[in-house]
Amino acid sequence: MATFPRTEQFDTSLALLREGYHFISNRVRRYHSDAFRTRLLLQEATCVLGADAARMFYEPDRFTRQGALPPTTLRLLQDKGSVFTLDGAAHRDRKQMFLEMLTPPEQIAGLVAAFDEQWRASQRIWETREAIVLNDEMQPLLLRAVCQWADVPLTEASARRRTREINAMLTYAGVASLRVLGALLLRRRTERWCQRIIRAIRDRHIAPAPGTAAHTIAWRRDLDDALLDVDIAAVELVNILRPAVAIAWFVTFAALALHEHPAWRARLLAGDDGELTRFVQEVRRFYPFFPMTGGRALHEFAWRGEQVAPGSWVLLDLYGTDHDGRIWDDPDAFRPDRFLAWDGSAYDFIPQGGGDYLTGHRCPGETITIAIMKAATRHLLTAIDYDVPAQDLSIDLSRFPPLPASRFVMAHVRPAS
């Protein structure tokens, strides 16, 4: 029986913190094996990378996400009781709710329209300022857009507070330090705010329009036909707001790509919608966001001649698969044209997870993410002109998730000439 190579050190947690996004791919290269065993956070783990590994990982009902992420990462991102922690029929039922909210074309068009409106309002303010930091501007802009679309009431004061809290959730999800405790406290505030909104809807103090995310989540019934617990409904509302704000990271990377590859500006201005789609797909492939996802085997199965026992912890390298030289020619080059030949496989391009949306944990917000990134890129190209002053644009790949150090400063934002 084949056995996967095993790392020499007793525990590789420090190496993971040091090497960040390259931790798994460095070892896959060293051992000439796209699976290896190690110990992380003092627990046995199997790390895997590549399309074959993704196919194994996303086999329906093979893995649970329970116990598969460090507890503070789970609390800051998906949280207990959320769709991410469910399995089997309960997961499918809850996931259906997300897919209904996030994937119909009219839902996507509605969010893009709210985003465009918020962009225009923000742009008027940017034009009065010497310089702006794009990532800092995009977060409240996206929060306002998603609340407008979801029919969640948002005052200016709560927009400021919620942006700060959601920023902490995203910034500290992959951090191992005491500062995580502060982020958890901030998250509690957003949760309590969402609980108040759910209660206000159920008490008929506010009445979001049918079909909006606030209405759908507040009135959703579980498989036992009971309304979702207020706590759970609030967690799922956060599960819409937080990741929508996270798109600010990809928008920042899209602006960086336009800056680093100016030839693409001209191509996109002259090109069609397909060209713009390929550009944002390459931004999602090339720049770092989610390094990996994890699962615990629900039952025993065999892969590559090895038995994987129930409860085994498997970590799939998302970033590494998106940079796998066996899939992507010259993977460290930014080349949107590579998507001309991409066959749409659910296993080789997995920045937001892979496999089937309904039966697995693949991100239900993927189409909405692409649509917002396209809208933002269009605005960066056609709505404004701006200067990019000298700044530190380096990306620290040992941070999860990283940004350019300067978070992308734009000076003299003005209407496009």
Which of 100, 154, 55, 169 has its CA nearest to residue 368?
100
Q: Give strand ranges (E) for 186-270.
A: none
Size of the site for ligand HEM (CB under 6 A): 25
**Pairing relation of β-strands 301-303 and 306-308?**
antiparallel
Asked whether the beta carbons of 43 and 74 are under 8 A apart, the reply is: no
Site for ligand HEM in 362-401 (CB under 6 A): 362-365, 368-369
Q: Which two tokens stand for residue 326?
A: 């066996």
Question: For ligand HEM, which stretch binds (CB under 6 A), given 26-34, 168-176, 245-253, 320-328?
Answer: 245-253
CA distance 318 to 353: 7
21 binds ligand HEM (CB under 6 A): no
Closest to 202 (Cα-Cα) out of 225, 221, 223: 221
* 84 contacts ligand HEM (rule: CB under 6 A): yes
Residue 173 binding ligand HEM, by CB under 6 A:
no
Distance CA 324, CA 320 (A): 6
Task: Among 218, 246, 276, 375, indicate the residue that binds ligand HEM (CB under 6 A).
Answer: 246
**Site stretch for ligand HEM (CB under 6 A), options 8-16, 127-135, 261-269, 286-294:** 286-294
Q: Which amino acid is at 111?
A: L
Site for ligand HEM in 289-308 (CB under 6 A): 289-290, 293
Residue 226: DSSP 8-state: P
- Provide the pairing of β-strand 43-49 with 35-40: antiparallel
Q: Residue 254 in contact with residue 365, Cβ under 8 Å?
A: no
Closest distance to ligand HEM from the beta carbon of 279 (Å): 16
Instruction: Select from 95-103, 158-166, 263-271, 405-413 the region that touches ligand HEM (CB under 6 A).
Output: 95-103
Instruction: Output Rg (C-alpha) for the chain, integer angstroms.
Output: 21
Q: How far is the CB of 362 from ligand HEM (least distance, A)?
A: 6
* 187 sits near ligand HEM (criterion: CB under 6 A): no
198 versus 246: smaller Cβ distance to ligand HEM: 246
Q: Choose between 336 and 351: whose C-beta lies nearer to ligand HEM.
A: 351
In sequence order, the β-bridge partners of residue 301 are 308
Cis peptide before 404 (omega within 30 of 0): no
**Contacts with ligand HEM, 330-369, as mask; x by CB under 6 A:** ---------------------xxx-------xxxxx--xx
**x/- string (CB under 6 A) for ligand HEM, residues 150-169?**
--------------------
Q: Which residues bind ligand HEM (CB under 6 A)?
A: 83-84, 95, 98, 102, 239-240, 243-244, 246-247, 250, 289-290, 293, 351-353, 361-365, 368-369
